[in-house]
Amino acid sequence: MSFEDIYNHYWSKIFRLCMGYVNDHAVAQDLAQETFIIVWQQLPKFRKESSIGTWIYRIASNRCLRQLETDKKIQKSELPFQIKEDVPISIEPQIQFLYTCISNLPETDRIIISLELEDVKQAEIAKIVGLSEGNIRVRIHRIKAILTEKFKVYER
Amino acid sequence: MNANIDFKNLWKQQDIEQPNHADLLLTLKRYKNKGLRRLVLTNVLLFITIVCLVLIWYFFQPQMITTKIGLITTILAMVIFVFAYNTLFKYYKAASESESNRAYLQDLIAIKRKQKFVQTKMLQFYFILLSLGVCLYLYEYVNKMPTAIGLLVYALTLLWIAFNWFYLRPKMIKKQEEKLDTLIKKFELINRQLDEQLEIKA
């Protein structure tokens, strides 16, 4: 798989993962870009010990975890490349609410539920996060219950 | 709304904007050059400083051993400082981004601890070496001056060193320590979330 194929196939998935983590369009865009910079740099070293998806999701989620190092002072001038600054955000309130709820979960839960909603297999999520499959299953169940509860209150 | 909310469907409706591939490649190239430039700049600056010190040695022909030791100590202080910073980059490189979140978090915590040690202890060591170097270096020239002026020169130098030691150094160390401590605490907190998950199963 060439870098271009990977980029086209995974960009939206990685962007959503980052968006679920930070719930900020500009920051998520930066995190996704940084992920692809690492992918681009390390692709020649990728040894196929895991699937390419697991590999990329690991890089992206680790990048998200490290994000708090640069928190609060993300320098716009330092960004590798700029897309339009003011992205028109006119998504439906329900979608926005889902992303807000997810970004308020504990950090590792944000990653787990984002991967689940992205249709990543639970065995793969376990490999990405570094926990057992059973653990991931329990956690996903619990997060979904929390989200459902929040949506019920929201609907009222 | 019923209990079965289609989260997956909502999730995938998020607005997405993808930079085009050509732009991405161009910026990747620029990004790579930028990193390289920064590395070159740091080393060039160090190199120029050392060349200046060597030129002083060459043109002013210091007679006393203290001056020579002073110059060497000053150069050593700078070399050690840059060396310590380069080791930090090595630590970062060793932490692989393609590890599991759990392993990566543990790596980050270890790196931050090392960074705290390097930055605070090294800064202290750097200040001591630099002050010592300057004092030793001055001795020969002060020796040739009238006593009163010589004393004044040393008094001013020591005052400057004292300002660095008692004001600047603690301030810098405190600032760095606070920043690193906060990060370490946050990473540990996130890491503990994963431990809690292990307890769920137990």
Of all residues in chain A, the one with the smallest CA distance to B18 is A11
Same domain? For B189 and B157 the reply is yes
Best mean pLDDT range from A116-120, B41-45, B131-135, B164-168: A116-120
Enumerate residues 29 to 88 of chain B having a beta carbon within 8 A of any beta carbon in chain A. 30-31
Same domain? For B76 and B112 the reply is yes
Q: Please tell me which of the candidates A94, A111, A117 has its beta carbon nearest to residue B8.
A: A117
**pLDDT category of residue B200 using cuts at 50, 70 and 90:** low
Tell me if B200 and A135 make a contact (CB, 8 A cut-off).
yes
Q: Is the pLDDT of residue A26 over 70?
A: yes
Same domain? For B127 and B57 the reply is no
Q: Which residue shows structure tokens 């006119």? A: A90
- Which letter, b or e, does each residue of A19-58 get, where b requires 16 or more Cβ atoms within 10 Å of its Cβ? bbbbbebbbbbbbbbbbbbbbbeeeeeeeeebebbbbbbb
Same domain? For B55 and B72 the reply is no
Q: What single string gives the DSSP state of each residue in B7-33?
A: HHHHHTTS------HHHHHHHHHHHHH
Are the beta carbons of A125 and A116 closer than 8 angstroms?
yes
Chain B interface, mutation test: which of A21, A38, A42, A58, most B Cβ atoms within 10 Å?
A58
Secondary structure letter of residue B164 according to DSSP: I
Residues with Cβ within 8 Å of A23's Cβ and at least 6 positions away in sequence, in order, are: A99, A100, A102, A103
Residue among B24, B195, B190, B91 at smallest CA distance from A62: B190
Same domain? For B184 and B145 the reply is yes
Q: Does B192 touch chain A (CB under 8 A)?
A: no
Q: Does B111 touch chain A (CB under 8 A)?
A: no
Q: Please tell me which of the candidates A38, A127, A128 has its beta carbon nearest to residue B97.
A: A38
Same domain? For B71 and B55 the reply is no
Least confident of A31-35, A80-84, B50-54, B189-193: A80-84
Tell me if B10 and A119 make a contact (CB, 8 A cut-off).
no
Chain A interface, mutation test: which of B197, B198, B199, B200, most A Cβ atoms within 10 Å?
B197
Q: Estimate the crossing angle of helix A3-22 against helix A25-42, to 10 degrees.
A: 140
Same domain? For B86 and B53 the reply is no
- Distance CA(B137)–CA(B59), nearest Å, equals 15
More confident residue, A86 or A151: A151
Best mean pLDDT range from A68-82, A103-117, B1-15, B114-128: A103-117
Same domain? For B51 and B131 the reply is no
Residues above pLDDT 90, as percent of chain B: 13
Same domain? For B127 and B197 the reply is yes
Same domain? For B99 and B174 the reply is yes
- State whether ipTM is beyond 0.85: no
Best mean pLDDT range from A37-46, A93-102, B2-11, B175-184: A93-102
Q: Does B94 touch chain A (CB under 8 A)?
A: no
Q: Is the pLDDT of residue B1 over 50?
A: no
Q: Is the pLDDT of residue A2 over 80?
A: yes
**Residue B173 phi, psi (nearest 5):** -65, -45
Residue B87 lies in a domain: yes
Q: How far does B195 lie from chain A, in Å, by closest CA?
A: 9
Q: Does A83 touch chain B (CB under 8 A)?
A: yes
pLDDT per position as a tens digit, B62-97: 888 998 899 889 888 888 888 877 777 777 777 778
Q: Does B19 touch chain A (CB under 8 A)?
A: yes
Looking at the structure of chain B, the number of domains it has is 2
Secondary structure letter of residue B167 according to DSSP: I
Are the beta carbons of A137 and A122 closer than 8 angstroms?
yes
Of all residues in chain A, the one with the smallest CA distance to B9 is A117
CATH dotted code for A3-155: 1.20.140
Residue B91 lies in a domain: yes
- Looking at residue A156, what is its pLDDT? 75
Tell me if A81 and B190 make a contact (CB, 8 A cut-off).
no
Q: Is the pLDDT of residue B37 over 90?
A: no
**pLDDT category of residue A82 using cuts at 50, 70 and 90:** very low
Residue B2 is encoded by which pair of tokens? 């019923």
Residue B17 lies in a domain: no
Of all residues in chain B, the one with the smallest CA distance to A102 is B11
For chain A, the domains span 3-155
Q: Does B12 touch chain A (CB under 8 A)?
A: yes
Q: Which residue shows structure tokens 């990329």? A: A56
- Looking at residue A86, what is its pLDDT? 47
Give the structural domain span for B79. Answer: 65-201
Chain A interface, mutation test: which of B4, B6, B10, B180, most A Cβ atoms within 10 Å?
B10
- Longest pairwise C-alpha distance within chain A: 52
- Distance CA(A113)–CA(A136), nearest Å, equals 9
Q: Is the pLDDT of residue A125 over 50?
A: yes
Residue among A119, A17, A33 at smallest CA distance from A65: A17
Q: Is the pLDDT of residue A1 over 90?
A: no
Same domain? For B46 and B145 the reply is no
- Looking at residue A72, what is its pLDDT? 53
Are the beta carbons of B92 and B159 closer than 8 angstroms?
no
Q: Does B103 touch chain A (CB under 8 A)?
A: yes
Of all residues in chain A, the one with the smallest CA distance to B34 is A80
Residue B188 lies in a domain: yes
Please state, rounded to an integer, the average pLDDT across all residues of chain A.
85
Chain B interface, mutation test: which of A15, A54, A107, A112, most B Cβ atoms within 10 Å?
A107
Average pLDDT score over residue span A27-43: 89
Same domain? For B128 and B165 the reply is yes
Q: Which residue shows structure tokens 């490349």? A: A81
Q: Is the pLDDT of residue B199 over 90?
A: no
